[in-house]
Structures are given as structure tokens and as C-alpha cells.
């Protein structure tokens, strides 16, 4: 239930759909043209800065200009990942796995796409191959951490996140994901530290802010967990805090928070209503029989 509550991204979500163009259609050859390095550098800069519209436009321009390099296909796959088109991304990565220049990064992309598609066993194998081919690929290590979390393999998950943090210079998304892994293990002080560090690196990282509030609620700090600015969804905050209270066995407080969430929503709130029914059921089981 906790995993279903908070969605953690292996890659940042795109601000909008990338410009329609030649993604997945061009089949560049392995040999690089004189303009390939320049084009690749410009597209990479746009990807690093999460300017996915610009990345798509630059990729289209490079292909139309006749730039031929298998690494362009990998970047096309990464843009598709950012657009949420995971199946198209997977096809792009698998198209160039035979290219020595593209293989390590294509394996990384393949593993991430497979993970997002729910093909966990295949994802684990691809991600292991990716870090074996190039141990500096922090996104592959980050995704490996998530796969190990799903298997409750906490030792390997911690090691994978440590690699990702080191190789990414403590990227905010990796700090958040390691924090979530620690939260799943009930290592609340360490999880809180990771979420705070992630927000220092990227103050607008919504997943880290939500996870930090969840960690507070799991420690019984319900008031802190539900306080927020004008942009926060009060109903969602109250529901999440109620869920944390229910996990702690604090059913009376959970019921109170779920009722507050329903009232704050001002309309039917299915998730909070379902959680309220669950809290009442668990509380009833806890009472001794007469």
C-alpha cells in the first residue's frame, strides 16, 4: 500500500510533449559525421537541463541535416522516456544494442524502460549489464535501487543508491529514492535526512516534499506533516497523514485525519473514504472480544 501511495520517478517528468518529429523512425548508422559531436553535445545539454521540447527539436534538426550516429537513437529513446512513451523508448534502445558506441547507455535506457513497463526480471538483468558495461551510469544504479527495493533486498538497494549518489554528485532524485527505500525499512531519521537533502538540491521536487511529510507522519508528527503553503492540497496531505497513522496502529488518529481529509475535499473522496473504512476495520479487530 505504501508503494502505491507515492509514485517515485527514475527520470524527471517532461514539462510537456516533445515536438513531433522523427523519433524512432530514423536509423542512423554507426559511423559519426563531422557534425555528430556538436549535435550530441547540444541535445545532451538540453536533456540535462530537462528542456525536452528543445531536445526533441535539436534531435529532429540533426537527423534532417543528415547527422548519423547510433547515439542519436539512444537520445531519442531518452526523450521518449521523458514523454512517458516507454514502449517506444524501449524499441529505440533495443535498436542500437549491437552498436559498441551506444550499447552501455542503450542498456541503461532499456533497463529503465523495462522497469517502467513492469517487466521487472528483464529490467534487473538489463540494468546489471548496463552498470557492468559502464559503472558510471548513475541512472542505471538508481533504477537498480528501485528494483532491489521491490524485492526487499535492502543491502543491494543501499549499495546501488550509494553508487548513484556518488556518480551523480548527489542528484536530488537519487537522494529522494534512497530516502524512500529507507522509509520502507522504517529507518525514519535517515529517510528524513535524505528527503531534506534532496529538497536542498532541488526545492521544487514534489516527490521529496511528499515523502518528507509522510516520514513526519510516520513519526507521529501529524501537525507538521499536514501543514503547508497555499499551493498544497490539504485533503491529500490529511489523507497521507491518516495513512501513516494507520500504519503506526494509531487508528483513532487515523480516523480523525481521514474525516478531515474528506471534509477538506468538499466532495466525495474515494481514497480517503476507503482508507477510513480500513482504519475502522483494523480498529475493530484490535478491540478485545467481550
Residues 112-154 pLDDT 10s: 999 999 999 999 999 999 999 999 999 999 999 999 999 999 9
Q: How confident is the model at residue 266 (pLDDT cuts 50, 70, 90)?
A: confident
Residues 218-263 pLDDT 10s: 999 888 888 875 555 888 888 888 888 888 888 888 888 898 889 8
User: Span 36-40, mean pLDDT?
Assistant: 88
pLDDT for residue 282: 87
Q: What is this structure's pTM?
A: 0.78
pLDDT for residue 7: 31
pLDDT for residue 288: 65
pLDDT for residue 84: 94
| Whole-number Å distance between alpha carbons of 220 and 231 | 24
pLDDT for residue 249: 87
User: Span 65-94, mean pLDDT?
Assistant: 94
Q: Is 22 exposed, middle or buried (0-12, 13-18, 19+ CB in 10 A)?
A: middle
pLDDT for residue 245: 87
On the question of pLDDT at 160 being above 60, the answer is yes
Amino acid at each position: 500500500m505504501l508503494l502505491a501511495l507515492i509514485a517515485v520517478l527514475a527520470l524527471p517528468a517532461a514539462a510537456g510533449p516533445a515536438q513531433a518529429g522523427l523519433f524512432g523512425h530514423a536509423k542512423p548508422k554507426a559511423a559519426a559525421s563531422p557534425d555528430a559531436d556538436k549535435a550530441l553535445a547540444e541535445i545532451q545539454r538540453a536533456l540535462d537541463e530537462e528542456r525536452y521540447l528543445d531536445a526533441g527539436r535539436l534531435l529532429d534538426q540533426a537527423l534532417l541535416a543528415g547527422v548519423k550516429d547510433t547515439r542519436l537513437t539512444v537520445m531519442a529513446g531518452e526523450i521518449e522516456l521523458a514523454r512517458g512513451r516507454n514502449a517506444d523508448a524501449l524499441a529505440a534502445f533495443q535498436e542500437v544494442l549491437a552498436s559498441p558506441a551506444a550499447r552501455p547507455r542503450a542498456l541503461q535506457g532499456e533497463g529503465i524502460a523495462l522497469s517502467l513497463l513492469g517487466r521487472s526480471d528483464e529490467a534487473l538483468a538489463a540494468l546489471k549489464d548496463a552498470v557492468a558495461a559502464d559503472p558510471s551510469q548513475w541512472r542505471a544504479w538508481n533504477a537498480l535501487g528501485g528494483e532491489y527495493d521491490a524485492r526487499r533486498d535492502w543491502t543491494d538497494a543501499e549499495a546501488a543508491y550509494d553508487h548513484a549518489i556518488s556518480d551523480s554528485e548527489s542528484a536530488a532524485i537519487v537522494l529522494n529514492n534512497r530516502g524512500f527505500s529507507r522509509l520502507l525499512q522504517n529507518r525514519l531519521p535517515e529517510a528524513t535526512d535524505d528527503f531534506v537533502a534532496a529538497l536542498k538540491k532541488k526545492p521544487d521536487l514534489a516527490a521529496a516534499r511528499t515523502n518528507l511529510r509522510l516520514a513526519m507522519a510516520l513519526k507521529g508528527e501529524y501537525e507538521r506533516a499536514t501543514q503547508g503553503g497555499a499551493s498544497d492540497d490539504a485533503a491529500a496531505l490529511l489523507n497521507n497523514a491518516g495513512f501513516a497513522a494507520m500504519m503506526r496502529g494509531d487508528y483513532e488518529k487515523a480516523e480523525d485525519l481521514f474525516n478531515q481529509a474528506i471534509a477538506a475535499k468538499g466532495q466525495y473522496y474515494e481514497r480517503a473514504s476507503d482508507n477510513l473504512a480500513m482504519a475502522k476495520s483494523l480498529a475493530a479487530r484490535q478491540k478485545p472480544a467481550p
